[in-house]
Amino acid sequence: MSASYRLAAEPTDPPSLTDAFVRTVSQGLGGPIGRHAAAGDGWWSPARVAALIGTLSYLAGVVFRLPCRTTVAGQVSNWYKHMCYSDIPLLYPDRGLLQGKIPYLDSGDYPVLEYPPLTGWFLDLERRLAGLLGAPQGLGLTAQQSTDSTLIFFDINQVLLGGLFLVAVLAQVHTSAGRPWDALMLAASPCVAAAALINWDLLAVALTAVGCLAWARRHPMLAGVLLGLAMAAKLYPGLLLGPLFLLCLRSRRMVEFWTMFSTFLVSWLAVNLPVMILAPQAWLSFWEYNASRGGDYGSIWYVFVLAGHPVPQLNLLTTTLFALACLGIALLIILAPRRPRFGAMAFLVVAAFLITNKVYSPQYVLWLLPLLILARPRWRELVIFSAAELIYFGSIWFHLGGFLTPGNNGQDRLYWLAVLLRLAVQCWLVIVVVRDALHPDQDPVRANGADDPAGGWMDGARNAGWVRRLRPRPLVQPRRAA
């Protein structure tokens, strides 16, 4: 039986019937979804519903940022008070894009763009589109011309980033076979409305989501291309390769992994090599920038700095902690009684990176959100996670604006508390996902007898012989794929 047919034949998982939180909420809205509606066979399929809700959520974020929309030169908006800060209109002139400079290759007197090359090429594409739409660009512009150009550039970003968000939502619909309604967790997330337009992270998020979809649909070459491009836009998609390697090793799917990895390298190098050869120092600037920064906004290390106790040798400490976390994830993958799911392990490694990292920008929630939905598709966990992230989102802007500073000019400990709350919730989710891996009967995805709907060739695969020899206790073998 073909893989595509097997995926399509999986029964649909309706959250109002299988999720206790949604079932309780649905009682006030007419009760759980009916059998025919749950199948999603009508015109309002899960994909169309998710796309509609995702569009409305994203537009809510666009409206949320209207108070910071600058149309007249000299107009000043309090970005921190209105919580609508964005890097997009700032870096457009500050990195030479407004002046017609090409990222990395021709920065002129402006600082080099501090992002991996694909993000820079994406910005250059947007710069050229802005020029085609009449945005003034070049040196010697008046203040009003600069304002008009920046506004056009920002509007182009709103359209393109919105399209990338919908791509991520539709990919989420189809990644886990039988669980299309899980995508509503991403589509309806208030975290997206809050953080989508802070930076260009949705480019990497969309590429990663489609890459995971390609892997789930057993197209390892395409998955490698997309994940390689995703890492060329942001660093975090490369973290998924470690768990994927070990999961393939355990399930005897190394041919598929090496196929994926080869195209991953090709696509990543195709984007990076031109900059590495033509502007090596500009290419290194991203790595140097991240290596030189200290404990920064959102991290536990920044709280220590604010408290007057900066941590020495921070690079060594964070690297060591993350390496230990990766070692723990590796042992979990190898020794768990049943092979853990790919989505769950991808969430763990990215969460470990962000928990131990030197900085946590508010838009990093976009990295975790799709992976959390793959790892633990339950609305209760999503609501708690979203609440903690939104509390942090508000506190960081009020912290930067000085609105949390007490009357005696002391430390704004409410910001410290928001950081600690976010970290505590993320650590709790890590514990829950680890528990699911150790006790597969508590994993909501496996409750109906499924193995790993997003695992691609690993779905239904048997354990390698060396795994059985390593474990003193009996292993739980997955259900064979149809």
Q: Tell me: the pLDDT tens digits for 297-320?
A: 999 999 999 999 999 999 999 999
Show the tokens assigned to 334.
């190898």
Question: How does pLDDT run across 459-478, given as a tens digit for each residue?
Answer: 988 888 777 777 655 555 55
Task: Please determine, for residue 18, whether its predicted confidence score (pLDDT) is greater than 80.
Answer: no
Sign of CA dihedral 430, 196, 61, 55: negative
Q: What is the pLDDT of residue 234?
A: 96
Q: Vertex 452, ends 435 and 475: CA angle to 5°?
A: 60
Most confident of 69-78, 155-164, 172-181: 155-164
Question: How does pLDDT run across 407-456, given as a tens digit for each residue?
Answer: 667 788 899 999 999 999 999 999 999 999 999 999 999 988 889 999 99
Q: In angstroms, rounded to a whole number, what is the distance separating the alpha carbons of residues 337 and 471?
A: 8
Average pLDDT over residues 42-65: 92
**pLDDT class for 28, splitting at 50, 70, 90?**
very low
pTM of the model: 0.91
**pLDDT class for 242, splitting at 50, 70, 90?**
very high
Q: What is the pLDDT of residue 474?
A: 52
Q: In angstroms, rounded to a whole number, what is the distance separating the alpha carbons of residues 269 and 271?
A: 5
Task: Please determine, for residue 277, whether its predicted confidence score (pLDDT) is greater than 90.
Answer: yes
Task: Please determine, for residue 57, whether its predicted confidence score (pLDDT) is greater than 50.
Answer: yes
Q: Which of 389, 345, 352, 397 is nearest to 369 (CA)?
A: 389
Q: Which residue has the tokens 């290390």?
A: 301
> With contact defined as beta carbons under 8 Å apart, do 103 and 123 qualify?
yes
Task: Please determine, for residue 7, whether its predicted confidence score (pLDDT) is greater than 70.
Answer: no
Q: In angstroms, rounded to a whole number, what is the distance separating the alpha carbons of residues 121 and 128?
A: 11
Candidate from 42-46, 178-182, 458-462 with smallest mean pLDDT: 42-46
**pLDDT class for 266, splitting at 50, 70, 90?**
very high
Task: Please determine, for residue 268, whether its predicted confidence score (pLDDT) is greater than 60.
Answer: yes
Taking the alpha carbons at both ends of the chain, their separation in whole angstroms is 7
Phi-psi region of 112 (alpha: psi -120 to 50; beta: other; left: phi over 0): beta
Average pLDDT over residues 139-143: 92
Contacts of 164 (CB under 8 A, 6+ apart): 202, 203, 205, 206
Helix (H, G, I), strand (E, B) or coil at 102: strand
Contacts of 102 (CB under 8 A, 6+ apart): 124
| Length of the chain as a residue count | 482
Sign of CA dihedral 346, 347, 350, 353: negative
Dihedrals φ, ψ of 102, to 5°?
-95, 125
The secondary structure element, H or E, covering residue 147 is helix 143-175
Average pLDDT over residues 78-82: 91
